[in-house]
């Protein structure tokens, strides 16, 4: 069976590229202002005002690599059907069409699915699984973080 083509947003985070399905991204913002979240782990930059709704911003690079959270970059507000979350990434490269392939175990939320692009295998993280992982992390305690 032929896989269906989908559009992806290619973003960069700490010299790595990731492909997010465009349908899962509600909005892209270049400027933003955040306010601190009490008891949140350090990779949460803060909470931002997204059209009147409080939406937490997660520094994706900090979450992945434990680097200090930053206050600059590009914000991807994810679709509200998945969760109430925005990801801070270093930048957006382009929008491409393509098909993902299973390249790891189903439990591997980060690189279980990938997109072949320009001879490169780009991980296409599952945002649904990311939100579930963040929930699990926050449920345990307010000030710890669990890296993938």
Site residues (vs other proteins, CB under 8 A): 35-40, 47-49, 52-54, 56, 80, 82-85, 131-132, 134-139, 142-143
Counting beta carbons within 10 angstroms of the beta carbon of residue 5, is it exposed (0 to 12), middle (13 to 18) or buried (19 or more)?
A: exposed
Residue (54 or 91) nearer to other proteins, CB: 54
Cβ 57 to other proteins shortest distance, Å: 11
Residue (82 or 92) nearer to other proteins, CB: 82
Q: What count of Cα atoms within 13 Å lies in the side-chain half-sphere of residue 116?
A: 6
Cβ 121 to other proteins shortest distance, Å: 28
3-state secondary structure of 24: helix
Pair of tokens at residue 45: 């930059």
DSSP state of 5: P
Sheet order of strands, 113-117 included: 100-102, 113-117, 120-123
Cβ 58 to other proteins shortest distance, Å: 9
Cβ 35 to other proteins shortest distance, Å: 5
Residue (48 or 122) nearer to other proteins, CB: 48
Q: Is the dihedral of CA 123, 127, 131, 133 positive or negative?
A: negative
The size of the chain, in residues, is: 148
Residue (26 or 117) nearer to other proteins, CB: 26
């Amino acid at each position: 069976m032929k896989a269906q083509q989908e559009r992806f947003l290619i973003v960069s985070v700490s010299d790595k590229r990731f492909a997010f399905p465009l349908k899962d991204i509600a909005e892209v913002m270049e400027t933003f202002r955040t306010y601190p979240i009490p008891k949140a782990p350090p990779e949460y930059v803060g909470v931002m005002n997204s059209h009147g709704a409080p939406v937490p911003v997660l520094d994706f690079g900090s979450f992945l690599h434990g680097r200090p959270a930053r206050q600059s970059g590009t914000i991807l507000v994810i679709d509200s059907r998945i969760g109430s979350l925005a990801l801070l990434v270093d930048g957006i490269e382009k929008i491409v069409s393509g098909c993902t392939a299973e390249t790891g175990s189903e439990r591997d939320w980060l690189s279980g699915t990938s997109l072949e692009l320009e001879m490169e295998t780009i991980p296409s993280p599952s945002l649904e699984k990311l939100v579930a992982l963040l929930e699990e992390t926050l449920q345990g305690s307010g000030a710890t973080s669990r890296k993938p």
